Amino acid sequence: MKKTEIIFGILLLISFILRFFLVPGGIILSVFSLSILALLYQVFGIVIFNNIKIRNLFKKESFRGVSAIQLIGSVGVGFGLSMVCIGVLYKLQNWPGANFTTIVGLSIIILLTLITFIEYLKSKRNYFSRILKRVVLFGIFGFVFLSLNSMSITKIEYRNHPDYLKALENYLNDTTNDTLKEKMEYEYLKTFMSEEELKLYHEYNN
């Protein structure tokens, strides 16, 4: 399960690089990797944080030495990390509820980080170490995206297309204006289409 977590973490990093350079597939890859990571932490938090192999999940002996507090803590941390992943996904896609979801996840992470850190200082157990590494990483990850608004992210992605950014801002200031909408859509197409492709596109749609 740890390998799966690392693989999708790497895919997420790659998706950000692709989005930064407006490479086709970057958006799909970021949605896919964040969704899988959210699902992974939500469903398999107990497995990941207690270092249990997935094939041994339903074997009673696998939980020998795992306390009830550890199980509850694993579920809580998994839920918090999952909420951060979903919040970041919503922010990237400009979907409603992004900040609220991220704040819920970060609140859980902050609380459990304090508890985990205190317990780690007491026992130095690997269980607490595994949790600390992830909550610190995703905590920073979540705070970075919480501090950005969707327009800031769009400006980073389309930094080399000022005409599109200007058209988008104009449309967002007056979303009932069909002329501004058409201009925005046209400038968006220009970000990845050549003049010839644009001509063919308009001929096909008119």
Q: Cβ contacts of residue 4 below 8 Å, gap of 6+?
A: 40
Report the pLDDT value the prediction gives residue 98, as an integer from 0 to 100. 93
Query: pLDDT: is 84 or 125 the higher one?
Result: 84
Mean pLDDT of 143-166: 91
- 173-182 pLDDT, tens digit per residue, is 998 999 999 8
- 48-76 pLDDT, tens digit per residue, is 887 777 676 667 676 777 777 777 888 89
Q: Residue 22: count other Cβ atoms within 10 Å of its Cβ.
A: 15
Query: pLDDT: is 198 or 110 the higher one?
Result: 110
Q: How far is CA 169 from the centre of its chain?
A: 25
Structure tokens given for 84? 């951060």
pTM: 0.84
Q: Cβ contacts of residue 197 below 8 Å, gap of 6+?
A: none
Separation CA 92–CA 129 (nearest Å): 30
Q: How far is CA 147 from the centre of its chain?
A: 14
Q: Is the pLDDT assigned to residue 142 strictly greater than 70?
A: yes
Mean pLDDT of 3-13: 92
Q: Cβ contacts of residue 79 below 8 Å, gap of 6+?
A: 41, 42, 45, 105, 108
Q: Is the pLDDT assigned to residue 199 strictly greater than 90?
A: no
Closest CA to 78 of 54, 102, 109, 56: 109
Please report the DSSP string for 34-88 in residue order.
HHHHHHHHHHHHHHHHTT--GGGTT-GGGGTT--HHHHHHHHHHHHHHHHHHHHH
The alpha carbon torsion through 181, 183, 188, 190 (nearest 10 deg) reads 160
